[in-house]
Amino acid sequence: MEKFLWGSATASYQCEGAWQEDNKLESMWDHYLHELQLENGDVASDFYHRFDEDLKMAKEGGQNSFRFSLSWPRIIKNPQGEVNEEGIAFYRSVLKACHRYGLIPNVTIYHWDLPQYLEAQGGWQNEETCQAFLHYAKVCFNRFHDLVDIWVTFNEPRWFIFNGYFIGNYPPGCHDVDMTIKGAFHVMYASALAIKVFREGNYPGKIGIVHSYTPVNGVDNTVETRIAMRYADNYCNNWVLDTAALGEIPIDMLGKLSSEGHDLSYMTPDKLTVIKHNTVDFIGLNYYSRALVQPYTTGETTLIVNNKGKAGKGTSKTIIKGWFEQVADPNTKKTEWDTEIYPQGLYEGILDAWQKYHLPIFITENGIGVSEDVTVEQVDDRYRIEFMKEHIEAILKAKEEGADVRGYYAWSTFDLYSWKNGCEKRYGLVAIDFEDHLKRKPKASYYWYKDFISKH
């Protein structure tokens, strides 16, 4: 039996810093945040210079796996696709350090940091980006296959596509349904292209996708609510998971989009065939909360994400016109960022995904974002311990009931830059004092996790 992976996770833009070092190009996030003069990841947690210290700390925390992402603009140095050898050398050093510390690398090829030169040519609206991704993925397989057995094509297509093209709070900051549908399709097509070349190259290991999993519950059991739940499930989950795991984009969703007047002609038979025949070996589920929905009542499509924490508490809203509305459960706890704390949703969601796809499952992200004072000797994050304990128990219960769950990754290994939430929203098992030379200090949760792993 394969050993269960107990790890933690990071992402390149959120932790590396060194944004212009060693021939790294500008990413779409560099460009967007600099243009708008927003808090950015130029330095972030400085993992680029401190990875050995961070990986050693993960090892000393009892972890046996480390999930991280590669930065496309650090590896490919121009629109012609030339390889930046300094970027390759950096990631080989990280991977070798993982092995030195007994951490199995779980490597994501794309965690949102598209090279800006591709964004300038249309980003995920442009089919050429799919071919550029294929080239980039192949470079990664060729250069790192001796050190990596767990590959992920994309992290959370739903978030970067919906937030970039629909909600507009991520780059490129658009509000367009047709751009959202096209971007979503191109990402899933690009994922299948990468899987195709991975299989053709007979590279070792397994390849999957990571999805921002939002199990759907309804307010009651009426037919109307069940229809709304299906719309919500297609919107939240099925367009990623069904497409990646079954090779089928939900046809009722495409029918609904087509009946609403959206042009789907770029979803050509040849591309659908590539998607059909190049499905994933496993699925990674990032779980933060479920969605509780009711049938659509009134109003325009509204998507508001709270990026302000306490100052914006209660402002989050999801209405998809003609589809469904998300509602808040008055009986559950929420974080300052309006994220519901609901471990039961993870237990039910794992069983649903297992029954539907019968593929190995990794819980690739799970954590709680909180404002914390890290100037103290040790952050006493009992709330994080309670959160992790309840969610891990939900996973182990689903595993006992037959779901093939192979690993759990706490988000995050250490405090990092949390996109539009800046560095105030802290998820780390290790505190980073951004005001005091990026000093690392393990929190109470780091030691709790170490103890929990040793007992399991």
Amino acid at 288: Y
Provide DSSP, 230-242: HHHHIIIIIHHHI
156 catalytic residue (yes or no): yes
- The catalytic residue among 156, 200, 325, 435 is 156
For the beta carbon of residue 260, count every other beta carbon within 10 angstroms.
11
Token pair belonging to 15: 């932790």
Count of H-run helices and E-run strands, the chain: 16, 15
Q: Is residue 186 a contact partner of residue 101, using CB atoms and an 8 Å limit?
A: no
Give me the sign of the Cα torsion angle 448, 450, 452, 454: negative
d(CA 299, CA 28): 33
d(CA 128, CA 411): 32
Bin 327: left if φ > 0, else alpha if -120 < ψ < 50, else beta: beta
Element (H, E) at 194: helix 177-200
Q: Is residue 137 a contact partner of residue 76, using CB atoms and an 8 Å limit?
A: no
- DSSP-derived pairing of the beta strands 430-433 and 439-442: antiparallel
372 catalytic residue (yes or no): no
For the beta carbon of residue 183, count every other beta carbon within 10 angstroms.
26
- The catalytic residue among 16, 119, 325, 365 is 365
Catalytic residues: 156, 365
